[in-house]
């Protein structure tokens, strides 16, 4: 049993190592919404909710996430005792609609505290880790073809990454296609290159662009269409040999059922934030497994805390397309006392109870928005 005594929230602004260009925004700084949940006489559980570009990505902003937690969710659950994460989730969902990013931070903090109380990792609470090490790709998103090629070749030479994703969709269709194929050709046949369109195309552009990307050796096409267009995304998955990766289109259990029952044949990008937490996202994973749909561990470009929470969930399932949990590497600094270990195209799951990490309170206060 876990009694929630108090919840505190920070907005933490950390610069990125370079501009990160997506179809809807270019990031030079990432804002992490960090919470501390104090339980059972002083046990601290930590959680993170992170989105991209304020409100340019979706309906929850860092400021909105903090407001939802402080105004609605924290008063709802503070002072109450919960037997487990499902009881917490049911209480939050009964009174607060949506706001899955805020709920994900709270669910993460609850699991961290529960793991510390029981002396077990969060992965154990979620079913048990199948692996202590997970593959991690790198996203090339400077917006400049030659700069992306140079960055990819450097990371290959360093042995840090051997799989890459490209952010396209902000430019003209033919420019984006040429950009992607040029990078694929430069990095070589043995290097997997995927693209993320971030909902930027309509069906006409998607058919033309995907045909050329498939011929150019691109391995995976992520979210080419707007999130609501399930019908055409299913059609694309059935039309082309190159798999479609549904991201924004598969956020809820209802989304997962609609895609699976409609005949979608590609892969799903799982994200704890859009599902409502590490335990909730595994429900979507189980629908995919039952339907024979491949899985991919997605990111909202979280810092280390949110990344670790995701890794604990990903470690309990098979991810045929690996993960993109590189968010901490995109940031110039960290709020953990010990950074995550990224080597040889992968990351190691931290050991220890709860999330297995400690917060550097000096760094937290340094980067917190005053």
- What is the domain-level CATH number for residue 158? 3.20.20.120
**Pair 322, 253 in one domain:** yes
Residue 366 lies in a domain: no
Among the candidates 119, 144, 161, a domain finishes at: 119
Residue 367 lies in a domain: no
pLDDT number for residue 58 = 82
**Pair 96, 164 in one domain:** no
For residue range 9-30, list pLDDT tens digits in order: 999 999 998 877 776 677 789 9
Q: Is 271 a catalytic residue?
A: no
Q: What is the largest CA-CA distance in the chain?
A: 60
**Pair 98, 150 in one domain:** no
pLDDT number for residue 242 = 98
**Pair 77, 159 in one domain:** no
Residue 169 lies in a domain: yes
For residue range 260-304, list pLDDT tens digits in order: 999 999 999 999 999 999 999 999 999 999 999 999 999 999 999
Tokens linked to 368:
């917190």
DSSP label of 228? T
Question: pLDDT confidence of 6, banded at 50, 70, 90?
Answer: very high
For residue range 76-105, list pLDDT tens digits in order: 999 999 999 999 999 999 999 999 999 999
**Pair 108, 129 in one domain:** no
Of these residues, 222, 248, 302, 324, which one is catalytic?
324
Share of the chain above pLDDT 90, in %: 90
**Pair 66, 99 in one domain:** yes
Q: Is 48 a catalytic residue?
A: no
**Pair 115, 132 in one domain:** no
pTM: 0.94
How many separate domains does the chain show? 2
**Pair 272, 138 in one domain:** yes
Range of the domain at 87: 2-119
What are the two backbone dihedrals, phi and then psi, of residue 2, each rounded to the nearest 5 degrees? Answer: -130, 120
pLDDT number for residue 118 = 97
pLDDT number for residue 24 = 67
Averaged pLDDT for residues 324-328: 94
**Pair 111, 199 in one domain:** no
**Pair 200, 227 in one domain:** yes
Rounded to whole angstroms, the Cα distance separating 221 from 196 reads: 6
Rounded to whole angstroms, the Cα distance separating 45 from 35 reads: 8
pLDDT at 214 over 80: yes
- What is the domain-level CATH number for residue 56? 3.30.390.10
- Coil, strand or helix: which one is 201? coil
Of these residues, 116, 167, 184, 271, which one is catalytic?
167
């Amino acid at each position: 049993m876990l009694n929630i005594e108090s919840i505190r929230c920070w907005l933490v602004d950390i610069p990125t190592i370079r501009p990160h260009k997506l179809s809807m925004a270019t990031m030079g700084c990432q804002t992490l919404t960090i919470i501390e949940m104090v339980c059972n006489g002083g046990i601290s559980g930590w959680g993170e909710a992170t989105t991209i570009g304020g409100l340019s990505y979706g309906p929850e902003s860092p400021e909105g996430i903090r407001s939802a937690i402080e105004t609605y969710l924290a008063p709802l659950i503070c002072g109450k005792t919960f037997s487990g994460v499902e009881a917490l989730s049911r209480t939050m969902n009964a009174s607060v609609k949506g706001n899955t990013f805020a709920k994900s931070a709270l669910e993460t903090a609850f699991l961290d505290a529960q793991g510390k109380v029981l002396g077990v990792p969060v992965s154990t609470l979620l079913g048990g880790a199948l692996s202590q090490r997970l593959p991690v790709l790198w996203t090339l998103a400077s917006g400049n073809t030659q700069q992306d090629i140079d960055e990819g070749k450097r990371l290959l030479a360093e042995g840090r990454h051997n799989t890459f994703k490209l952010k396209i969709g902000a430019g003209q269709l033919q420019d984006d296609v040429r950009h992607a194929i040029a990078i694929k050709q430069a990095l070589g046949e043995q290097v997997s290159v995927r693209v993320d369109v971030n909902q930027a195309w309509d069906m006409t552009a998607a058919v033309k662009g995907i045909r050329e990307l498939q011929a150019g050796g691109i391995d995976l096409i992520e979210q080419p269409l707007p999130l609501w267009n399930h019908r055409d995304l299913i059609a694309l998955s059935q039309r082309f040999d190159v798999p479609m990766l549904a991201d924004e289109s598969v956020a809820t259990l209802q989304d997962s059922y609609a895609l699976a029952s409609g005949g979608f044949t590609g892969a799903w990008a799982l994200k704890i934030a859009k599902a409502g937490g590490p335990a909730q996202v595994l429900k979507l994973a189980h629908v995919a497994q039952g339907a024979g749909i491949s899985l991919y561990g997605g990111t909202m470009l979280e810092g280390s805390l949110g990344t670790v929470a995701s890794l604990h969930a990903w470690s309990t399932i098979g991810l045929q397309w690996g993960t993109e949990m590189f968010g901490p590497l995109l940031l110039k600094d960290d709020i953990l006392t010990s950074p995550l270990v990224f080597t040889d195209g992968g990351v190691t799951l931290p050991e220890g109870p709860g999330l297995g990490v400690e917060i550097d309170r000096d760094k937290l206060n340094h980067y917190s928005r005053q």
